[in-house]
Amino acid sequence: MPKMLPLTPATGEMRRPRAVRFALSLLFGITLLAGAPALQAEDGYQLWLRYAAPGAASATASPGISQLVAIADSPVQKATQHELQRGLQALSGAAPVGAKTVTRAGGLLVGTPASSPQIARLGLDLDGLGREGYRIRSAVVDGHATTVVAANEDVGALYGAFHVLRLLQTGQPLRDLDIHETPRIAVRVLNHWDNLDRYVERGYAGQSIWDWHRLPGWLDPRYTDYARANASIGINGTVLNNVNANAEVLTPMYLDKVAAIAGMLRPYGMKVYLSARFSAPMEIGGLATADPLDAGVQRWWKTKADEVYALNPDFGGFLVKANSEGQPGPQDYGRSHADGANMLADAVAPHGGIVMWRAFVYSDEEPVDRAKQAYNEFVPLDGTFRDNVLVQVKNGAIDFQPREPFHPLFGAMPKTPLMMEFQITKEYLGFSTHLAYKAPLYEEVLDADTEVQGPGSTVARVIDGSLDGHALTGIAGVANIGSDRNWSGSHFDQANWYAFGRLAWNPDLASRDIAAEWTRMTFSNDPAVVEPVVGMMMASREAVVDYTGALGLHHVMGRGHHYGPGPWVEGGPRADWTSVYFHRADANGIGFDRTRRGSDAVSQYAPPVAEIFDDVARTPEEFLLWFHHVPWNHPMRSGRPLWDELVLRYDRGVGTVRDMRATWAGLDGRIDAERHAQVAAFLAIQQDEAQWWRDASIAYFQSISGLPLPAGVAPPPHPLGYYKALEFPHAPGDTQ
Q: Is 710 in the site for a copy of itself (CB under 8 A)?
A: no
- Sites for a copy of itself among residues 447-486 (CB under 8 A): 483-485
Residue 209 DSSP code:
S
Nearer to a copy of itself, 41 or 295 (CB): 41
Smallest CA-to-CA distance from 46 within 155, 193, 165 is with 165
Of 220 and 325, the one with the shorter C-beta distance to a copy of itself is 220
Give the up-direction half-sphere exposure of residue 641: CA atoms within 13 A in the CB hemisphere: 15
Give backbone dihedrals phi and psi of 557, rounded to 5 degrees, phi first. Answer: -95, 170
Cα separation of 377 and 595, whole Å? 20
Secondary structure of 28-55 as H, E, C letters: HHHCCCCCCCCCCCCCCCCCCCCCCCCH
Catalytic residue among 307, 399, 659, 734: 399
Q: How far is the CB of 727 from a copy of itself (least distance, A)?
A: 8
Q: Closest Cα partner for 337 from 366, 316, 365, 360?
A: 360
CB of 402 to a copy of itself, least distance (A): 20
Distance (Å, rounded) from C-alpha 638 to C-alpha 490?
36
Instruction: Work out how close the CB of 530 gets to a copy of itself at its nearest, in angstroms, rounded to a whole number.
Output: 26
Interactions with a copy of itself, residue window 177-196 (CB under 8 A): 195-196
End-to-end CA distance of the chain: 42
Question: Among residues 97, 293, 580, 684, which is the contact residue for a copy of itself, using CB under 8 A?
Answer: 684
Decide: is 693 part of the binding site for a copy of itself (CB under 8 A): no
* Smallest separation (angstroms) from a copy of itself to the CB of 368: 36
* Catalytic option among 225, 294, 325, 382: 325
**Applying CB under 8 A, which of residues 218, 326, 573, 617 lies at the interface with a copy of itself?**
218
Phi, psi of 354 (to 5 degrees): -125, 165
Q: Which of 78, 131, 198, 299 binds a copy of itself (CB under 8 A)?
A: 198
The strand pair at 389-394 and 418-423 is best described as parallel
What is the DSSP-derived secondary structure letter of residue 98? Answer: B
225 is a site residue for a copy of itself (CB under 8 A)? no
The correct pick among 44, 87, 111, 206 for binding a copy of itself (CB under 8 A) is: 206
Dihedral, 522, 523, 524, 525 alpha carbons, nearest 10: -40
The answer to whether 261 and 221 are in contact (CB under 8 A) is no
Judged by CB under 8 A, the residue of 635, 688, 714, 722 near a copy of itself is 688
Residue 200, helix vs strand vs coil: strand
H or E segment and range at residue 461 = helix 459-463
Based on its alpha-carbon atoms, the radius of gyration of the chain, rounded to whole angstroms, reads 26
Counting contacts by CB under 8 A, is residue 292 touching a copy of itself? Answer: no
Tell me, yes or no, if 399 is annotated catalytic: yes
The C-alpha atoms of residue 333 and residue 229 are separated, in whole angstroms, by 42
Of 226 and 442, which CB lies nearer to a copy of itself in the complex structure?
226
Binding mask 529-548 for a copy of itself (x = CB under 8 A): --------------------
Smallest separation, CB 36 to a copy of itself (Å) = 22
The residue (of 407 and 676) whose beta carbon lies closer to a copy of itself is: 676
Please report how close the Cβ of residue 304 comes to a copy of itself at its closest, in angstroms: 18
Cα angle: 484, vertex 227, 241; to 5 degrees: 65
Does the bond joining 216 to the residue before it have cis omega, within 30 degrees of 0? yes
Helical residues (DSSP H) of 389-474, grouped into ranges? 439-447, 459-463
713-732 positions binding a copy of itself, by CB under 8 A: 727, 729-732
411: left (phi over 0), alpha (psi -120 to 50) or beta: left
By the rule CB under 8 A, 682 interacts with a copy of itself: yes
Q: Please identify, using beta-carbon distances, which residue of 218 and 469 lies nearer to a copy of itself.
A: 218
Q: For residue 427, indicate whether it is catalytic.
A: yes
18 is an interface residue for a copy of itself by CB under 8 A? no
Least distance from C-beta 363 to a copy of itself, angstroms? 31
CA distance 142 to 69: 13
Handedness of CA 518, 521, 523, 527 (dihedral sign): positive
Among 431, 498, 518, 723, binds a copy of itself (CB under 8 A): 431
**Rounded Cα gap, residues 55 and 303, in angstroms:** 57
Beta pairing partners, 415: none
Which listed range, 147-155, 208-216, 260-268, 628-636, lies at the site for a copy of itself (CB under 8 A)?
208-216
Q: Which is nearer to a copy of itself, 427 or 644 (CB)?
A: 427
389 strand-pairing partners: 355
User: From the CB of 297, what's the least distance to a copy of itself, in Å?
Assistant: 23
Q: Considering the rule CB under 8 A, would residue 283 count as an interface residue with a copy of itself?
A: no
504: left (phi over 0), alpha (psi -120 to 50) or beta: alpha
What is the smallest separation between the CB atom of 503 and a copy of itself, expressed in angstroms?
A: 29
Amino acid letter for position 24: L
Cβ-in-10-Å burial (0-12, 13-18, 19+) of 92 comes to middle
The active-site residue, picked from 377, 427, 517, 622, is 427
What is the residue-wise DSSP string for 632-644? TTPBPTTSSBHHH
Sheet holding 107-111, edge to edge: 68-70, 107-111, 144-150, 134-141, 178-181
Among 197, 256, 387, 570, binds a copy of itself (CB under 8 A): 197
121 vs 214 by CB, closer to a copy of itself: 214
Q: Which residues between 620 and 679 bind a copy of itself (CB under 8 A)?
A: 674, 677-678
Length of the chain: 736
Q: Which residues contact 17 (CB under 8 A, 6 or more apart)?
A: none
**H or E segment and range at residue 394:** strand 389-394
Among 214, 574, 597, 618, binds a copy of itself (CB under 8 A): 214
Q: Which is nearer to a copy of itself, 212 or 410 (CB)?
A: 212
Give the nearer residue to a copy of itself in terms of CB position, either 95 or 253.
Answer: 253
Contact call for residue 121 and a copy of itself (CB under 8 A): no
Annotate each residue in 233-252 with x if it binds a copy of itself (CB under 8 A) or - if it does not, as one string.
Answer: ---------------x----
> Contact between 213 and a copy of itself (CB under 8 A)?
yes
* CB of residue 335 to a copy of itself, shortest distance in Å: 29
Q: Kind and range of the H or E element at 147?
A: strand 144-150
In the bound complex, what is the minimum distance in angstroms from residue 197's beta carbon to a copy of itself? 4
Q: How far apart are CA 176 and CA 683, in angstroms?
A: 42
260 makes contact with a copy of itself (CB under 8 A): no
- Dihedral sign computed on CA atoms, order 355, 313, 304, 265: positive
Nearer Cβ to a copy of itself (100/213): 213
Q: Interface residues for a copy of itself in 483-522 (CB under 8 A)? A: 483-485
Q: Does 35 interact with a copy of itself (rule: CB under 8 A)?
A: no
In the complex, minimum distance from the CB of residue 614 to a copy of itself, in angstroms, rounded to a whole number = 42
Residue 325 among the catalytic residues: yes
The residue range among 113-121, 309-317, 509-517, 684-692 that interacts with a copy of itself, by the rule CB under 8 A, is 684-692
597 counts as binding a copy of itself under rule CB under 8 A: no
Report the nearest approach of a copy of itself to the CB of residue 494 (Å). Answer: 17
Of residues 431 and 505, the one with the C-beta less far from a copy of itself = 431
Q: How many helices (H) and strands (E) does the chain have?
A: 22, 15
Element holding 537 (H helix, E strand): helix 527-548
Tell whether residue 570 is a contact of a copy of itself (CB under 8 A): no
3-state DSSP assignment of residue 456: coil
Q: Mind telling me the catalytic residues?
A: 325, 399, 427
> Which residues lie near a copy of itself (CB under 8 A)?
195-198, 206-207, 212-214, 217-219, 221, 248, 253, 431, 433, 483-485, 674, 677-678, 681-682, 684-685, 688, 727, 729-732
